[in-house]
Amino acid sequence: MTHSIFITGTDTDAGKTVIASAILQLAANKGLSTIGFKPVSAGCMQTAEGLRNDDALALQKVSTKQLAYEQINPIAFADPVAPHLAAKRMDVTVDMQQINLAYQQLVNEKADLLLTEGAGGWRLPISEGVFLSDFAIQHKLPVVLVVGMKLGCLNHALLTYQAICVDGLQVIGWVANQIDDQMLYLQDNIDSLKALIPAPCLGVVPKLNNTEQAAEYLSIDGLLQ
């Protein structure tokens, strides 16, 4: 049986890819087969093989099932902006059907864990009137919320948590990821989040020079129940 989860964040650069990669790494350490999926990316570099996104490459690297890049990241844009803006500039439309088809192909791979990483925050527009959160809602995916620990994170975290719940999905865990190493009252903010978010905290990840160490600060024991 494939466990499928969705990773979202409180904002762009909250640390979704770092945490997603760490979860995939921990699952692999438990002997599970894994796939990381980045359905939509922006801010890609042009290579001889085509557009490549650092986040998608990171997920591909730590996944135990080695698939073609286009399977991991079917929709990619060069401009480092919201996907619907990048698509408009290219005179194309991001097609949810294309995302669903790519997802189903990955489901057919029958990995133990299929982890989908969102882009930006929860309510990211991908085309007119369509949001990436619609994909998670359609497939009833349980959600892991990455909270980028910085000034303002309490508001961002609670609004995101509430939006996910209103959308009918379950937050099965959240991670405090320190992105501001000068944040005042860090522990007080973490304690507040633990009191305010009725979902398990999977870990507190400090500001790291080597993001591959993030797995050392997480526990996914209850994540795949």
pLDDT in tens, 161-208: 999 999 999 999 999 999 999 999 999 999 999 999 999 999 999 999
Q: Is the pLDDT of residue 29 over 80?
A: yes
| Token pair in block for residue 18 | 């770092």
If you search the block for the tokens 């570099």, which residue do you land on? 45
Please state, in angstroms and rounded to a whole number, the distance separating the CA atoms of residues 15 and 191: 20
Q: What domains are there in the chain, each with its CATH number?
A: 3-217 (3.40.50.300)
- The pTM score is 0.96
pLDDT (0 to 100) of residue 211: 85
pLDDT (0 to 100) of residue 222: 83
Give mean pLDDT, residues 28-53.
95
The residues assigned a catalytic role are 38
Please state, in angstroms and rounded to a whole number, the distance separating the CA atoms of residues 97 and 187: 43
Orientation angle between helical segments 186-196 and 153-166, nearest 10 degrees: 20
| Token pair in block for residue 97 | 């059907």
3-state secondary structure of 200: coil
Please state, in angstroms and rounded to a whole number, the distance separating the CA atoms of residues 78 and 85: 11
pLDDT range class, residue 67, cuts 50, 70, 90: very high
Give the phi and the psi of residue 194 in degrees, each rounded to 5.
Answer: -65, -35
What Å distances lie between residue 193 and 199, 200, 219, CA to CA?
10, 10, 18
pLDDT in tens, 102-155: 999 999 999 999 999 999 999 999 998 999 999 999 999 999 999 999 999 999
Please state, in angstroms and rounded to a whole number, the distance separating the CA atoms of residues 92 and 116: 23
Structural element, H or E, at residue 178: strand 171-178
